[in-house]
Amino acid sequence: MSATVAAPGAGLFRRLLENPGAVAGLTIMVVLIVVAAAAPLIAPYGPAEQFRESFLTPPFQQAAFPLGTDSLGRDILTRLIYGARLSLLIGLIVVALSLTVGTLLGLAAAFASGVLDVAIMRLMDVLLVFPSLLLAIVVVAILGPGLTNAMLAVAVVLLPGYVRLARAAALGELAREYVVATRSAGAGVLRLMLLVVLPNCAAPLIVQATLGFSAAILDAAALGFLGLGAQPPTPEWGTMLADALQFYQRAWWLLTFPGIAILVTVMAFNLLGDGLRDALDPKLRR
Amino acid sequence: MTTLLDVQNLTVDFGPFHAVEGIDLTVAAGEVLCVVGESGSGKSVSMLAVMGLLPRTGRVAAERVAFRGADLLHASPRGRRRLIGRDMAMVFQEPTTSLNPCYPIGWQIAEALRAHAAVPRAAIRGRVVELLGQVGVPAPEQRMRAFPHQLSGGLNQRAMIAMAIACDPALLIADEPTTALDVTVQKGVLDLLVGLQRDRGMGLVLITHDMGVVAETAQRVQVMYAGQVMEEQPAEPLFAHPRHPYTAALLDALPERAEGKPRLPTIPGVVPGAEDRPAGCLFAPRCRFRTPHCDAERPALRMAFGARVRCHYPLDDAGNPTGRPA
Amino acid sequence: MFRLLARRLALIVPTFIGVTLLGFLLIHSIPGDPVEVRVGERGISPERLAYFRHELGLDQPLWKQFLDYQGQLLQGDLGRSVVTQESVWTEFKTFFPATLELAACALAFAIIVGLPLGVMAAVRRGSALDYGLIGLSVTGASMPIFWWGLMAILVFSVSLGWTPVSGRIDELFYIEPRTGFLLIDSWLSGEPGAFRSAVRHLVLPAIVLGTIPLATIARMTRSAMLEVLGEDYVRTARAKGLAPGRIVVVHALRNALIPVVTVLGLQVGALLGGAILTETVFAWPGVGHWLVESVQRRDYNVLQGGTLLIAVLVMLVNLGVDVLYGVLNPRLRR
């Protein structure tokens, strides 16, 4: 008996490409990855390099500083490029962390049921009560400011989403005949969990992960802005905006460009995630 | 007899797909017309098109669609809304989903009355109770406050019928009204429809896929297949002497006619979809009497033996195709 | 109906305990306690430190401290701010009306603009309005709210001078804090120009805070309406010859509102989170600003108490939404 695997395959990719928003998101994502990977090659200078004769240079005026410089004379374009690297890394780590832990917890809850299930879900309910930024702030307050702690905090905030999703999908699969059959044939729980049930829950988790990327970047930027995330001189986009607070009324470019960078990146992942969700949804309405 | 509905050469397309092709249809006052066919035959779509209830993707074209002589096809939306629900009404297949789950059934029936100002405000409640009584809903004063999900399919269908006849329509279209109901309940609802039609002298168009229903109710029958009319004649002659091979096959498939046979006859194959429409007769791939001429040329609807038949070799009284080369 | 309420309330209790426990554990896992900061004081000896510890109950085993804390909470005692020595509850009461006013106006803005936009986009599916709405809502949901706030200030306050840069009202006004809601108080005070000033200060922060809920509500309404408009009962309504406007509002929207209301409930949590950033950007003296400052000042009592209060608030709102959902959806009744 073959398991009905919701095949992420050629059909999916084709449907995805039909969605103009998803194509745009995918393109931007690829561009970002390239930029981030090639940062040392593309960026004109180093991210912490200061040009003491050129504080607060406006953009589009000097070829040396196309997007202007900040209050310490650092080139904005360079910092944006290195910031891309940082943002992608943040998204990757946060999503990897919350996805893994969340899926394991969700699967465990679905399989173990009973007390463990209730305990895990209650814990997730508690986490969900707090507004996400507030929870992240509390976690960072305890651990201390810094990029690593900020990433950890955001991972905690995103955790319940994956737990619920994994648990719901797993429960749905557990009721299916092929699982009952495999179980009664004596398959071990761990093997069943990871090799049989998990692949069929993959689709919604993938969508959530993509959308989680954008949530991670936004939340990390917010923490950076509040001074609780990446600390200066790290060129994280949110931290750059915190720097901009003092001078933005005089120097609008300090504010505009990092914000646009965040906006475009987050939008790309949102569009991609929405496109994935539509492509994976069999009830697609035309 | 006054003609209520006059439809000539109606075509409905959904993009490249021809759901209905060249339908002619007339209904007179006090007449019961049954439109019968398999799923995908276009029987529902054609009536929805007449009522103007198709989704935006459907394009409707016709030489004439007239109700009581007034042009319906080019009517203004407001003009059409004056007729629909008041002089022409429709009842649908799934009664429970066809009623709004957020409002009690009494309220929804009253809404029809209010919309067409059929009855003075003060008399509305009484009229709703009266209507529910007429359609056979027990304890109407209590039932009218119920929500659709609290009632059975049969009761919901009766409520929908009450809603349709509330403004005394001249024409009632019933789209598979009993298909979604339990078999035990079907007969009651059918009898209700026929009784109401008789008592009020309405024209009734009954859409169904069930030849048994046709046998019980029809005065005139129109057989549709893949968007076209295959045969049309009064009910009795149709059952005695079907002229189109498709009609004959449908009748043969009735359990009552299968007595003595070892197996229940079926019609092999499926209704053509959007991609596999034959160039010739649409039924030819499944027809017992298929010839190369049938595959080559699409037959036109013409008179034969007092019936309108779309076949190159209509069946005679013995059930043999006339004029067919051996 | 009441059984629904009772069941929901019963569920709140373990969540409440969990929330307080989480807050308690988190705060107590911070290295150092309030007494340690006094180590360098003159005249401090280990014995005095131990005395202070005992005073604050910090030498008790952790579980006993937690139970004591629960007892305190149930009596309404949330502790005192380490910085101002004010009761946390008092401080919260001072700052909360500002946040509530801001959040309420933001939500009102989001609903008043978002709901009709979503309905119109669904009714005119595939039109320029529809695509425009989708584009705007994706953009709105992807913007960092603090950036949007600062940009708005740059454009509307600094460049165009339409709105003030920060604060709730011009400094020259002193308004008697009767309700704590400046809109009402300034109106009641009768001082010329006070109400207008309060409104001008509120407009931009409310719009900025309400942008993300607006995007979500518009999208949610659109997709709910699209789904409902394809339902059988809408076709029946058309078959009754009803006017299109009536069909959209009375038949479709009524049903579409059900999923939209649940989304509305979720927005409250988002609003409170967004308020933290908005208040920081606009120097709005509300709860969000208060909490951020408490982190920077290491005023952990405030952080713990304030977070707990907000969590309780969110739980109550969720309860309200559940009840409202039960009212709107007849299928859940009885």
User: Does any CB of chain B come closer than 8 Å to the CB of residue C243?
Assistant: yes
pLDDT number for residue C325: 78
Instruction: State the nearest Cα–Cα gap between C240 and chain B, in angstroms.
Output: 4
Instruction: State the nearest Cα–Cα gap between B229 and chain C, in angstroms.
Output: 25
pLDDT-above-70 percentage for chain C:
90
pLDDT number for residue C180: 73
Q: Which residues pair with B65 in a beta bridge?
A: B7
Contact across the interface for A141 and C300, Cβ inside 8 Å: yes
Contact across the interface for C311 and A129, Cβ inside 8 Å: yes
pLDDT number for residue C113: 94
**More confidently predicted of C320 and B53:** B53
Output the six-digit token pair for A130. 């707090």
- Mean pLDDT for C68-95 is 78
Give A4's pLDDT tier (boundaries 50, 70, 90): very low
pLDDT number for residue C126: 81
Contact across the interface for A218 and C144, Cβ inside 8 Å: yes
Output the six-digit token pair for C284. 């709005």
pLDDT number for residue B1: 63
Tell me the residues of chain A between 16 and 75 that have a Cβ less than 8 Å away from chain C. 21
Give C32's pLDDT tier (boundaries 50, 70, 90): low
Cβ-count burial A92-104 (b if 16+ within 10 Å, e if not): ebbbebbbeebbb
pLDDT, tens digit (0-9, with 9 covering 90-100), for B150-163: 999 999 999 999 99
DSSP string, B269-326: S----SS---SS-TTGGG-TT--HHHHHSPPPPEEETTEEE--SS-B-TTSPBTT---
Among candidates A197, A242, A249, which has minimal Cα distance to A220? A242
pLDDT number for residue A169: 84
pLDDT, tens digit (0-9, with 9 covering 90-100), for A78-120: 889 999 999 999 999 999 999 999 988 988 888 887 888 888 8
Contact across the interface for B81 and C236, Cβ inside 8 Å: no
pLDDT at A123 over 90: no
Give the 3-state secondary structure of C169-181: CCCCCCCCCCCCC
Tell me the residues of chain C between 19 and 38 that have a Cβ less than 8 Å away from chain A. 19, 22-23, 26-27, 29-30
Instruction: State the nearest Cα–Cα gap between B259 and chain C, in angstroms.
Output: 40
Chain C: residue whose CA lies nearest to A130: C311
Among candidates A249, A242, A208, A244, which has minimal Cα distance to A222? A242
Residues 6+ away with beta carbon under 8 Å from A35: A42, A81, A84, A85
Contact across the interface for B116 and C241, Cβ inside 8 Å: yes
CA C12 remoteness from chain centre:
19
Chains B, C: CB contacts under 8 A, how many? 70
User: Does any CB of chain B come closer than 8 Å to the CB of residue C240?
Assistant: yes
Whole-angstrom Cα distance, residue A36 to residue A28?
12
Instruction: State the nearest Cα–Cα gap between C238 and chain B, in angstroms.
Output: 7
Nearest CB neighbour to A133, from listed C27, C143, C273: C273
Rounded to the nearest integer, the mean pLDDT of chain C is: 82
Chain C residues lying within 8 Å of B77, measured CB to CB: 244
Whole-prediction pTM: 0.83
pLDDT at C36 over 70: no
Chain A residues lying within 8 Å of C226, measured CB to CB: 285
Tell me the residues of chain C between 240 and 269 that have a Cβ less than 8 Å away from chain A. 269
Segment among B183-197, B264-278, B298-312, C245-259 with least mean pLDDT? B264-278
Chains A, C: CB contacts under 8 A, how many? 127
Chain C residues lying within 8 Å of B160, measured CB to CB: 236
Contact across the interface for C26 and A142, Cβ inside 8 Å: yes
Contact across the interface for C255 and B101, Cβ inside 8 Å: yes
**More confidently predicted of A281 and A57:** A57
pLDDT number for residue A280: 77
User: Does any CB of chain C come closer than 8 Å to the CB of residue A134?
Assistant: yes
Contact across the interface for B149 and C330, Cβ inside 8 Å: yes
Chain C residues lying within 8 Å of B51, measured CB to CB: 239
User: Does any CB of chain C come closer than 8 Å to the CB of residue B51?
Assistant: yes
Rg of chain B over Cα atoms, rounded to whole angstroms, equals 21
pLDDT, tens digit (0-9, with 9 covering 90-100), for C165-174: 777 777 777 7
Segment among A175-184, B185-194, B254-263, C33-42 with least mean pLDDT? C33-42
Give C211's pLDDT tier (boundaries 50, 70, 90): very high
Q: Are C241 and B82 in contact (CB under 8 A)?
A: yes
pLDDT number for residue B163: 93
Chain B: residue whose CA lies nearest to C246: B115
Phi, psi of A273 (to 5 degrees): -60, -45
pLDDT number for residue C31: 63
Residues 6+ away with beta carbon under 8 Å from A45: A75, A78
Task: Report the SS3 class of residue B225.
Answer: strand
- Mean pLDDT for A152-170 is 90
Output the six-digit token pair for C296. 């920077």
Q: Which residues pair with B225 in a beta bridge?
A: B228
Phi, psi of B325 (to 5 degrees): -65, 140
Among candidates A50, A146, A160, which has minimal Cα distance to A98? A160
Whole-angstrom Cα distance, residue A184 to residue C239?
54
| Subunits with 3+ C-beta pairs closer than 8 A to B | C
Output the six-digit token pair for C255. 């049903």
pLDDT, tens digit (0-9, with 9 covering 90-100), for B86-139: 999 999 999 999 999 999 999 999 999 999 887 888 899 999 999 999 999 999
Cβ count near C85 (within 10 Å): 7
Instruction: State the nearest Cα–Cα gap between C251 and chain B, in angstroms.
Output: 7
Contact across the interface for B160 and C241, Cβ inside 8 Å: no
Contact across the interface for C307 and A138, Cβ inside 8 Å: yes
Nearest CB neighbour to C239, from listed B77, B85, B147: B85
Segment among A181-190, B191-200, C36-45 with least mean pLDDT? C36-45
Phi, psi of A189 (to 5 degrees): -65, -45
**More confidently predicted of C299 and C40:** C299
The letter for the amino acid at B23 is I
The β-bridge relationship of strands B88-91 and B171-175 is: parallel
Phi, psi of B9 (to 5 degrees): 55, 55
Among candidates B68, B78, B148, B70, which has minimal Cα distance to B107? B148
Chain A residues lying within 8 Å of C277, measured CB to CB: 133, 222, 225-226
Q: Are B190 and B158 in contact (CB under 8 A)?
A: no
Tokens 């202070």 appear where? C52
Cβ count near B217 (within 10 Å): 21
Tokens 């939008």 appear where? A267
Whole-angstrom Cα distance, residue C126 to residue C128?
7
Nearest CB neighbour to C235, from listed B53, B103, B149: B53
pLDDT number for residue A47: 78
Q: Are C294 and B142 in contact (CB under 8 A)?
A: no
User: Does any CB of chain C come closer than 8 Å to the CB of residue A221?
Assistant: yes
pLDDT at A286 over 60: no
Whole-angstrom Cα distance, residue C187 to residue C175?
10
Nearest CB neighbour to A141, from listed C158, C274, C295: C295
Instruction: State the nearest Cα–Cα gap between B285 and chain C, in angstroms.
Output: 34
Question: CA dihedral in degrees (A157, A160, A163, A168; nearest 10)?
Answer: -150
pLDDT at A208 over 70: yes
Give A6's pLDDT tier (boundaries 50, 70, 90): very low
pLDDT at C311 over 90: no
pLDDT at C332 over 70: no
pLDDT, tens digit (0-9, with 9 covering 90-100), for B8-47: 999 999 988 888 988 999 999 999 999 998 887 889 999 9
pLDDT, tens digit (0-9, with 9 covering 90-100), for C166-197: 777 777 777 777 777 777 777 777 777 778 88
pLDDT number for residue C239: 93
Chain C residues lying within 8 Å of A228, measured CB to CB: 295
Residue B220's H or E segment, with its range, is: strand B220-225
Give C26's pLDDT tier (boundaries 50, 70, 90): low
Chain C residues lying within 8 Å of B101, measured CB to CB: 233, 255, 330-331
pLDDT at A267 over 80: yes
Q: Which residues pair with B206 in a beta bridge?
A: B34, B174
Chain B residues lying within 8 Å of C240, measured CB to CB: 84-85, 111-112, 115, 163
pLDDT number for residue A1: 38
Nearest CB neighbour to A122, from listed C14, C295, C300: C14
Whole-angstrom Cα distance, residue B168 to residue B89?
9
Instruction: State the nearest Cα–Cα gap between A157 and chain C, in angstroms.
Output: 12
User: Does any CB of chain C come closer than 8 Å to the CB of residue B216?
Assistant: no
pLDDT, tens digit (0-9, with 9 covering 90-100), for C260-308: 887 887 888 888 889 999 999 998 889 999 998 888 877 777 888 888 8
Chain C: residue whose CA lies nearest to B92: C236
Residue C221's H or E segment, with its range, is: helix C194-229
User: Does any CB of chain C come closer than 8 Å to the CB of residue A101?
Assistant: no
pLDDT number for residue C75: 72
pLDDT, tens digit (0-9, with 9 covering 90-100), for C214-246: 999 999 999 899 999 989 999 999 999 999 999
Instruction: Reply yes or no: is the peptide bond before residue A233 cis, omega within 30 of 0.
Output: yes
Whole-angstrom Cα distance, residue C311 to residue C24?
13
pLDDT number for residue A10: 61
CA A123 remoteness from chain centre:
22
pLDDT number for residue C334: 47
pLDDT number for residue C147: 92
Chain C residues lying within 8 Å of A231, measured CB to CB: none
Chain C residues lying within 8 Å of B111, measured CB to CB: 240, 242
Q: Are C140 and C211 in contact (CB under 8 A)?
A: yes
